[in-house]
Amino acid sequence: METHSVILFDGICNLCNGFVNFVIDRDPKGKFKFAAIQSSAAAQLLSAEHSNLQKLDSIVLVSHGQQYRKSGAVLQICKQLNGVWPMLYIFIIVPPFIRDAIYNFVARNRYKWFGKRNSCRMPEPAIMERFLEG
């Protein structure tokens, strides 16, 4: 876990699962590992400030001892992907309160717009090692 960045995501959210697929397709070297927010692996990675992980409605990136959330996490992830996606990191110059307001709007509406699953994502065997258990 020390050598990989870990993306924590809402395991029942279709948008979040789509984002995980997007990252996997653009991360052929496997820099990122993944865990559902609802998992015990996420609870171990996150600090005690989030005792109720079910209410956490943000992508979280845990990387080199740092935690990035919301738009900051998305931009940090894009910065490390293959292709043109690192260019999106330019949006880091937009003040976080503006970026996160947009992020929060999408997060509040994600189930309505994209739906949700009855259970967390089960990865295909070919990428199973990229998902933390728990």
Exposed/middle/buried for 23, CB within 10 Å: 0-12, 13-18, 19+?
Answer: buried
User: Is the pLDDT at 48 greater than 90, yes or no?
Assistant: no
Sign of the C-alpha dihedral, residues 60, 106, 123, 88? negative
The pLDDT value recorded for residue 132 is 83
Strands (DSSP E) found in 58-108: 60-63, 66-69
For residue range 62-102, list pLDDT tens digits in order.
998 888 999 999 999 999 999 999 999 999 999 999 999 99
Exposed/middle/buried for 25, CB within 10 Å: 0-12, 13-18, 19+?
Answer: exposed
**Cα–Cα distance, 29 to 107 (Å, whole number):** 29
Q: What token pair was written down for 58? A: 């943000």
Q: Higher pLDDT residue, 87 or 132?
A: 87
> What are the structural domain ranges in the chain?
5-130
The pLDDT value recorded for residue 11 is 84
* pLDDT band at 40; cut points 50, 70, 90: confident
Strands (DSSP E) found in 54-107: 60-63, 66-69
Q: What is the mean pLDDT of the chain?
A: 85
